[in-house]
Amino acid sequence: MPANNPAEHFLSLYRTMARIRAFENAAEETSRGGVAVFGATTDTSALVRGPLHLSTGQEAVAAGVCANLARSDYLTSTHRGHGHTLAKGADTTAMMCELFGRAAGTNKGKGGSMHIADFAVGMLGANGVVAAGIPIAVGAAHSAKIRGSHAIVACFFGDGAINRGPFLEGLNWAKIFGLPVLFVCEDNRYSATTATNAMTAGQGAAARARGIGLPAETVDGNDVLAVDATARELVARIRAGSGPQFLHALTYRVKGHVSVDAAAYRDQGEVESALESDPLKLARRRLAALGVTAEHIAEVDAEAQAEIEAALAAARAAPAPGFAEAYADVQDTGTGQWH
Protein backbone atom coordinates (compact mmCIF):
# COMPACT_ATOMS: atom_id res chain seq x y z
CA MET A 1 0.00 0.00 0.00
CA PRO A 2 1.34 3.45 -0.78
CA ALA A 3 2.83 5.24 2.20
CA ASN A 4 1.82 8.81 2.90
CA ASN A 5 5.07 10.01 1.48
CA PRO A 6 5.35 9.01 -2.21
CA ALA A 7 9.16 9.08 -2.10
CA GLU A 8 9.10 6.75 0.89
CA HIS A 9 6.80 4.31 -0.89
CA PHE A 10 8.97 4.48 -4.01
CA LEU A 11 12.04 3.83 -1.88
CA SER A 12 10.45 0.77 -0.35
CA LEU A 13 9.77 -0.59 -3.85
CA TYR A 14 13.33 0.24 -4.80
CA ARG A 15 14.63 -1.52 -1.71
CA THR A 16 12.82 -4.72 -2.72
CA MET A 17 14.32 -4.52 -6.20
CA ALA A 18 17.80 -3.87 -4.81
CA ARG A 19 17.51 -6.86 -2.49
CA ILE A 20 16.42 -9.12 -5.37
CA ARG A 21 19.29 -7.84 -7.54
CA ALA A 22 21.84 -8.38 -4.80
CA PHE A 23 20.47 -11.83 -4.03
CA GLU A 24 20.61 -12.95 -7.65
CA ASN A 25 24.03 -11.43 -8.29
CA ALA A 26 25.36 -13.39 -5.34
CA ALA A 27 23.59 -16.55 -6.47
CA GLU A 28 24.99 -16.16 -9.96
CA GLU A 29 28.49 -15.70 -8.63
CA THR A 30 28.32 -18.78 -6.40
CA SER A 31 26.75 -20.88 -9.18
CA ARG A 32 29.67 -20.65 -11.60
CA GLY A 33 30.47 -24.17 -12.73
CA GLY A 34 27.39 -25.55 -11.01
CA VAL A 35 25.54 -26.90 -14.01
CA ALA A 36 26.46 -28.69 -17.21
CA VAL A 37 24.34 -27.09 -19.91
CA PHE A 38 24.80 -25.04 -23.07
CA GLY A 39 28.30 -26.44 -23.40
CA ALA A 40 29.37 -25.47 -19.88
CA THR A 41 31.07 -28.08 -17.73
CA THR A 42 30.56 -28.61 -14.03
CA ASP A 43 32.95 -27.75 -11.29
CA THR A 44 32.24 -29.80 -8.20
CA SER A 45 33.25 -26.94 -5.95
CA ALA A 46 30.26 -24.79 -7.00
CA LEU A 47 28.05 -23.96 -4.03
CA VAL A 48 24.85 -23.33 -6.00
CA ARG A 49 24.32 -26.36 -8.19
CA GLY A 50 21.98 -27.04 -11.06
CA PRO A 51 19.97 -24.70 -13.23
CA LEU A 52 19.77 -21.17 -11.83
CA HIS A 53 17.21 -19.00 -13.59
CA LEU A 54 17.82 -15.33 -12.91
CA SER A 55 15.20 -12.61 -13.06
CA THR A 56 17.80 -9.88 -13.37
CA GLY A 57 16.16 -6.91 -15.08
CA GLN A 58 12.66 -8.12 -14.17
CA GLU A 59 12.67 -7.08 -10.52
CA ALA A 60 10.05 -4.35 -10.93
CA VAL A 61 7.35 -6.91 -11.69
CA ALA A 62 7.89 -8.86 -8.47
CA ALA A 63 8.35 -5.72 -6.37
CA GLY A 64 5.41 -3.80 -7.85
CA VAL A 65 2.91 -6.65 -7.64
CA CYS A 66 3.90 -7.99 -4.23
CA ALA A 67 3.73 -4.52 -2.68
CA ASN A 68 -0.02 -4.92 -3.01
CA LEU A 69 -0.28 -8.33 -1.38
CA ALA A 70 -0.79 -9.16 2.27
CA ARG A 71 1.17 -11.90 3.96
CA SER A 72 -2.01 -13.98 4.05
CA ASP A 73 -2.43 -13.74 0.28
CA TYR A 74 -1.02 -16.53 -1.85
CA LEU A 75 1.44 -16.51 -4.68
CA THR A 76 2.50 -19.11 -7.24
CA SER A 77 5.66 -18.68 -9.23
CA THR A 78 7.78 -20.07 -12.02
CA HIS A 79 11.22 -21.61 -12.41
CA ARG A 80 12.46 -17.99 -12.33
CA GLY A 81 11.07 -17.30 -8.89
CA HIS A 82 13.66 -15.76 -6.56
CA GLY A 83 12.22 -12.27 -6.98
CA HIS A 84 8.64 -13.31 -6.28
CA THR A 85 9.70 -15.29 -3.23
CA LEU A 86 11.76 -12.49 -1.75
CA ALA A 87 9.17 -9.81 -2.52
CA LYS A 88 6.45 -11.91 -0.87
CA GLY A 89 8.43 -11.77 2.34
CA ALA A 90 10.66 -14.84 2.48
CA ASP A 91 13.82 -14.62 4.52
CA THR A 92 16.90 -14.21 2.31
CA THR A 93 19.09 -16.38 4.53
CA ALA A 94 16.65 -19.28 4.30
CA MET A 95 16.43 -18.67 0.55
CA MET A 96 20.21 -18.65 0.12
CA CYS A 97 20.48 -21.77 2.26
CA GLU A 98 18.04 -23.44 -0.13
CA LEU A 99 20.14 -22.51 -3.15
CA PHE A 100 23.16 -23.91 -1.33
CA GLY A 101 21.31 -27.17 -0.59
CA ARG A 102 21.35 -26.69 3.18
CA ALA A 103 19.09 -28.22 5.81
CA ALA A 104 18.14 -24.70 6.93
CA GLY A 105 16.85 -23.82 3.46
CA THR A 106 13.23 -22.87 2.88
CA ASN A 107 12.72 -26.39 1.47
CA LYS A 108 15.29 -28.17 3.70
CA GLY A 109 17.57 -28.38 0.68
CA LYS A 110 15.12 -30.53 -1.26
CA GLY A 111 14.05 -28.08 -3.91
CA GLY A 112 16.84 -25.71 -4.81
CA SER A 113 16.43 -22.54 -6.81
CA MET A 114 13.94 -23.96 -9.30
CA HIS A 115 11.47 -25.13 -6.64
CA ILE A 116 11.91 -22.49 -3.97
CA ALA A 117 8.86 -21.95 -1.75
CA ASP A 118 7.90 -20.37 1.53
CA PHE A 119 4.42 -21.41 2.54
CA ALA A 120 4.66 -19.36 5.74
CA VAL A 121 4.41 -16.17 3.67
CA GLY A 122 1.86 -17.64 1.25
CA MET A 123 4.45 -18.40 -1.41
CA LEU A 124 3.17 -21.75 -2.68
CA GLY A 125 6.14 -22.55 -4.80
CA ALA A 126 8.27 -21.96 -7.81
CA ASN A 127 7.75 -24.67 -10.36
CA GLY A 128 9.98 -26.57 -12.72
CA VAL A 129 7.16 -26.97 -15.24
CA VAL A 130 6.04 -24.02 -17.37
CA ALA A 131 2.43 -22.96 -16.61
CA ALA A 132 2.06 -25.57 -13.85
CA GLY A 133 1.49 -22.89 -11.23
CA ILE A 134 -1.65 -21.65 -12.97
CA PRO A 135 -4.02 -24.49 -12.01
CA ILE A 136 -2.58 -24.54 -8.49
CA ALA A 137 -3.18 -20.80 -8.13
CA VAL A 138 -6.72 -21.23 -9.38
CA GLY A 139 -7.30 -24.01 -6.87
CA ALA A 140 -5.93 -21.93 -4.00
CA ALA A 141 -8.31 -19.13 -5.01
CA HIS A 142 -11.21 -21.55 -5.33
CA SER A 143 -10.39 -22.86 -1.88
CA ALA A 144 -10.29 -19.33 -0.46
CA LYS A 145 -13.75 -18.71 -1.91
CA ILE A 146 -15.15 -21.97 -0.51
CA ARG A 147 -13.61 -21.36 2.91
CA GLY A 148 -14.79 -17.77 3.02
CA SER A 149 -11.23 -16.50 3.31
CA HIS A 150 -10.38 -13.02 2.07
CA ALA A 151 -7.06 -14.15 0.63
CA ILE A 152 -6.35 -13.49 -3.01
CA VAL A 153 -3.82 -15.23 -5.22
CA ALA A 154 -1.13 -13.71 -7.42
CA CYS A 155 -0.23 -16.12 -10.17
CA PHE A 156 3.04 -15.36 -11.93
CA PHE A 157 4.01 -16.98 -15.21
CA GLY A 158 6.11 -16.12 -18.20
CA ASP A 159 5.31 -15.31 -21.80
CA GLY A 160 6.13 -18.88 -22.81
CA ALA A 161 3.35 -20.19 -20.53
CA ILE A 162 0.60 -18.62 -22.62
CA ASN A 163 1.23 -21.30 -25.23
CA ARG A 164 0.46 -24.11 -22.80
CA GLY A 165 -2.96 -25.61 -22.20
CA PRO A 166 -3.19 -24.84 -18.48
CA PHE A 167 -3.15 -21.13 -19.37
CA LEU A 168 -6.44 -21.46 -21.25
CA GLU A 169 -7.90 -23.89 -18.74
CA GLY A 170 -6.89 -21.86 -15.70
CA LEU A 171 -8.09 -18.49 -16.95
CA ASN A 172 -11.39 -19.97 -18.07
CA TRP A 173 -11.84 -21.68 -14.70
CA ALA A 174 -11.04 -18.52 -12.73
CA LYS A 175 -13.51 -16.55 -14.84
CA ILE A 176 -16.45 -18.94 -14.67
CA PHE A 177 -16.11 -19.33 -10.91
CA GLY A 178 -15.32 -15.63 -10.33
CA LEU A 179 -12.16 -16.39 -8.37
CA PRO A 180 -9.85 -13.90 -6.66
CA VAL A 181 -6.78 -14.34 -8.87
CA LEU A 182 -4.39 -11.75 -10.26
CA PHE A 183 -2.75 -13.38 -13.27
CA VAL A 184 0.62 -11.78 -13.94
CA CYS A 185 2.28 -12.51 -17.25
CA GLU A 186 5.88 -11.50 -16.66
CA ASP A 187 6.83 -11.12 -20.30
CA ASN A 188 10.62 -11.25 -20.62
CA ARG A 189 10.38 -11.99 -24.36
CA TYR A 190 12.12 -15.36 -24.23
CA SER A 191 10.99 -18.97 -23.97
CA ALA A 192 14.31 -20.51 -22.90
CA THR A 193 16.53 -19.76 -25.91
CA THR A 194 13.74 -18.94 -28.35
CA ALA A 195 12.10 -15.55 -28.86
CA THR A 196 8.50 -16.04 -27.71
CA ASN A 197 7.15 -13.69 -30.35
CA ALA A 198 8.11 -16.10 -33.13
CA MET A 199 6.22 -18.88 -31.37
CA THR A 200 3.04 -17.02 -30.47
CA ALA A 201 0.11 -16.39 -32.80
CA GLY A 202 -2.35 -13.55 -32.42
CA GLN A 203 -2.04 -10.48 -30.29
CA GLY A 204 -0.38 -12.01 -27.24
CA ALA A 205 -1.10 -12.47 -23.57
CA ALA A 206 -3.52 -9.62 -22.82
CA ALA A 207 -5.58 -10.25 -25.95
CA ARG A 208 -5.88 -13.92 -25.05
CA ALA A 209 -6.99 -13.01 -21.53
CA ARG A 210 -9.61 -10.60 -22.87
CA GLY A 211 -10.82 -13.34 -25.20
CA ILE A 212 -11.74 -15.30 -22.07
CA GLY A 213 -13.41 -12.27 -20.56
CA LEU A 214 -10.73 -11.19 -18.12
CA PRO A 215 -10.02 -7.47 -17.81
CA ALA A 216 -6.38 -7.11 -18.84
CA GLU A 217 -3.88 -4.28 -18.47
CA THR A 218 -0.53 -4.05 -20.17
CA VAL A 219 2.17 -2.19 -18.32
CA ASP A 220 5.85 -1.31 -18.67
CA GLY A 221 7.23 -4.03 -16.45
CA ASN A 222 10.46 -2.16 -15.88
CA ASP A 223 8.64 0.81 -14.37
CA VAL A 224 8.07 -0.24 -10.78
CA LEU A 225 5.67 2.62 -10.08
CA ALA A 226 3.55 1.70 -13.08
CA VAL A 227 3.50 -1.97 -12.06
CA ASP A 228 2.63 -1.00 -8.50
CA ALA A 229 -0.15 1.39 -9.52
CA THR A 230 -1.70 -1.02 -12.01
CA ALA A 231 -1.45 -3.96 -9.65
CA ARG A 232 -3.02 -1.84 -6.91
CA GLU A 233 -6.00 -1.11 -9.12
CA LEU A 234 -6.40 -4.74 -10.21
CA VAL A 235 -5.98 -6.06 -6.67
CA ALA A 236 -8.59 -3.58 -5.43
CA ARG A 237 -11.03 -4.88 -8.03
CA ILE A 238 -10.32 -8.47 -7.00
CA ARG A 239 -10.80 -7.66 -3.32
CA ALA A 240 -14.04 -5.91 -4.22
CA GLY A 241 -15.30 -9.17 -5.73
CA SER A 242 -14.89 -8.42 -9.44
CA GLY A 243 -13.23 -11.75 -10.15
CA PRO A 244 -9.94 -12.50 -11.86
CA GLN A 245 -7.83 -9.76 -13.42
CA PHE A 246 -4.88 -9.95 -15.78
CA LEU A 247 -1.66 -7.97 -15.74
CA HIS A 248 0.68 -8.19 -18.71
CA ALA A 249 4.04 -6.75 -17.65
CA LEU A 250 6.53 -6.16 -20.45
CA THR A 251 10.09 -6.59 -19.32
CA TYR A 252 13.29 -8.16 -20.59
CA ARG A 253 15.39 -11.12 -19.55
CA VAL A 254 18.82 -9.56 -19.24
CA LYS A 255 20.60 -12.83 -18.52
CA GLY A 256 20.44 -16.11 -20.41
CA HIS A 257 17.85 -18.80 -19.79
CA VAL A 258 20.02 -20.12 -16.96
CA SER A 259 23.02 -18.44 -15.39
CA VAL A 260 25.55 -20.20 -17.62
CA ASP A 261 23.66 -19.42 -20.83
CA ALA A 262 25.53 -16.59 -22.58
CA ALA A 263 22.44 -16.02 -24.75
CA ALA A 264 24.60 -15.68 -27.86
CA TYR A 265 21.48 -16.34 -29.94
CA ARG A 266 20.27 -12.79 -29.59
CA ASP A 267 21.39 -9.47 -30.92
CA GLN A 268 23.77 -7.61 -28.65
CA GLY A 269 22.15 -4.32 -29.60
CA GLU A 270 18.84 -5.63 -28.29
CA VAL A 271 20.44 -6.42 -24.94
CA GLU A 272 22.23 -3.08 -24.73
CA SER A 273 19.06 -1.15 -25.42
CA ALA A 274 17.24 -3.23 -22.82
CA LEU A 275 19.92 -2.42 -20.27
CA GLU A 276 19.16 1.25 -20.80
CA SER A 277 15.73 0.65 -19.32
CA ASP A 278 16.97 -1.43 -16.42
CA PRO A 279 14.33 -1.09 -13.71
CA LEU A 280 16.78 -0.12 -10.97
CA LYS A 281 18.46 2.43 -13.18
CA LEU A 282 15.07 3.93 -14.11
CA ALA A 283 14.01 4.01 -10.47
CA ARG A 284 17.22 5.70 -9.31
CA ARG A 285 16.77 8.44 -11.90
CA ARG A 286 13.20 9.05 -10.83
CA LEU A 287 13.99 8.89 -7.12
CA ALA A 288 16.59 11.58 -7.69
CA ALA A 289 13.97 13.68 -9.44
CA LEU A 290 11.77 13.29 -6.35
CA GLY A 291 14.59 14.71 -4.26
CA VAL A 292 15.98 11.50 -2.83
CA THR A 293 19.73 11.95 -2.53
CA ALA A 294 22.29 9.69 -4.18
CA GLU A 295 23.67 9.01 -0.70
CA HIS A 296 20.32 7.79 0.47
CA ILE A 297 20.00 5.45 -2.51
CA ALA A 298 23.53 4.20 -2.01
CA GLU A 299 22.64 3.48 1.59
CA VAL A 300 19.70 1.33 0.50
CA ASP A 301 21.96 -0.51 -1.94
CA ALA A 302 24.57 -1.05 0.76
CA GLU A 303 21.97 -2.40 3.17
CA ALA A 304 20.75 -4.84 0.54
CA GLN A 305 24.30 -5.91 -0.17
CA ALA A 306 25.05 -6.38 3.52
CA GLU A 307 21.89 -8.44 4.00
CA ILE A 308 22.83 -10.75 1.14
CA GLU A 309 26.42 -11.07 2.28
CA ALA A 310 25.17 -12.14 5.68
CA ALA A 311 22.89 -14.65 3.95
CA LEU A 312 25.83 -15.96 1.95
CA ALA A 313 27.99 -16.33 5.05
CA ALA A 314 25.20 -18.16 6.87
CA ALA A 315 24.59 -20.43 3.89
CA ARG A 316 28.28 -21.24 3.56
CA ALA A 317 28.45 -22.23 7.23
CA ALA A 318 25.16 -24.15 7.32
CA PRO A 319 25.14 -27.97 7.33
CA ALA A 320 23.80 -30.07 4.49
CA PRO A 321 20.75 -32.24 5.16
CA GLY A 322 21.58 -35.64 6.65
CA PHE A 323 21.00 -38.83 4.69
CA ALA A 324 17.86 -39.64 6.69
CA GLU A 325 16.24 -36.53 5.27
CA ALA A 326 16.19 -38.25 1.85
CA TYR A 327 13.43 -40.47 3.25
CA ALA A 328 11.47 -37.79 5.09
CA ASP A 329 8.31 -36.18 3.77
CA VAL A 330 7.70 -38.66 0.95
CA GLN A 331 4.31 -39.84 2.21
CA ASP A 332 2.78 -41.13 5.43
CA THR A 333 0.99 -44.19 4.06
CA GLY A 334 3.56 -46.89 3.43
CA THR A 335 6.50 -44.92 4.74
CA GLY A 336 9.34 -47.34 5.29
CA GLN A 337 8.35 -49.44 2.27
CA TRP A 338 11.07 -48.04 0.06
CA HIS A 339 11.31 -51.00 -2.28
Partner 1 sequence: MALMNYAQAACEALAEAMRADARVVALGEDVGHGGIFGQYRGLQQEFGAARVIDTPISEATIMGAAVGMALTGLRPVVEMRVVDFALCAIDEIVNQAAKNRYMFGGQGRVPLVARLPIGIWSASAAQHSQSLEAWFAHIPGLVVVAPATPADNYALLAAAIACGDPVIYMEHKELWGLEGEVPPRHAAALGKARLARAGTDLTLVTWSKLVHAAVAAAEQAAQQGVSVEVIDLRSIWPWDRDMVLGSAARTGRLMVAHEAVQAAGFGAEVAATVAQELGVPVRRVGAPRIPVGYARTLEDVARISAEKLLQELMHFVRSDGRRRSIA
- The whole-angstrom separation of Cα 196 and Cα 252 is 12
Query: In whole angstroms, what is the distance from residue 326 CA to residue 320 CA?
Result: 11
Q: How far is the CB of 280 from partner 1 (least distance, A)?
A: 30
Return the number of the residue (2 or 50) whose C-beta is nearest partner 1. Answer: 50
Q: What minimum distance in Å lies between the beta carbon of 283 and partner 1? A: 32
Q: How far is the CB of 103 from partner 1 (least distance, A)?
A: 9
Nearer to partner 1, 50 or 139 (CB): 139
Q: How far is Cα 55 from Cα 255, in angstroms, rounded to an integer?
A: 8
Least separation in angstroms between residue 164's CB and partner 1 is 9
What is the separation of C-alpha 6 from the centre of its chain, rounded to a whole number of angstroms?
25
CB of 262 to partner 1, least distance (A): 29
Query: CB of 74 within 8 A of CB of 137?
Result: yes
User: How many angstroms separate the CA atoms of 105 and 123, rounded?
Assistant: 14
**Alpha-carbon gap, residue 62 to 99, rounded angstroms:** 19
**Letter for the amino acid at 244?**
P
Residues 6+ apart with CB under 8 A from 272: none
Task: Specify the residue, 18 or 154, whose C-beta has the smaller distance to partner 1.
Answer: 154
Residue closer to partner 1 by CB (options 55, 106) is 106
When the beta carbons of 141 and 235 are compared against partner 1, the nearer one is: 141
With the C-alpha atoms ordered 71, 53, 42, 271, is the resulting torsion angle positive or negative? negative
Q: Which is nearer to partner 1, 57 or 111 (CB)?
A: 111
What residues have CB less than 8 Å from 281, skipping those under 6 apart? 275
Strands (E), 86-237: 153-158, 181-187, 190-191, 194-195, 216-220
Q: How far is the CB of 333 from partner 1 (least distance, A)?
A: 5
Binding site for partner 1 (CB under 8 A): 74, 76, 105-111, 115, 117-120, 124-125, 127-129, 132, 134-144, 146-147, 165-166, 169-170, 172-173, 176, 328-334, 337
Residue nearer to partner 1 on the CB measure, 125 or 221: 125
Within 217-267, residue ranges assigned H as helices are 224-239
- CB nearer to partner 1: pick between 119 and 265: 119
Q: How far is the CB of 306 from partner 1 (least distance, A)?
A: 27
Sign of CA dihedral 20, 121, 12, 63: positive
CB of 144 to partner 1, least distance (A): 7
CB atoms within 10 A of CB 25: 14
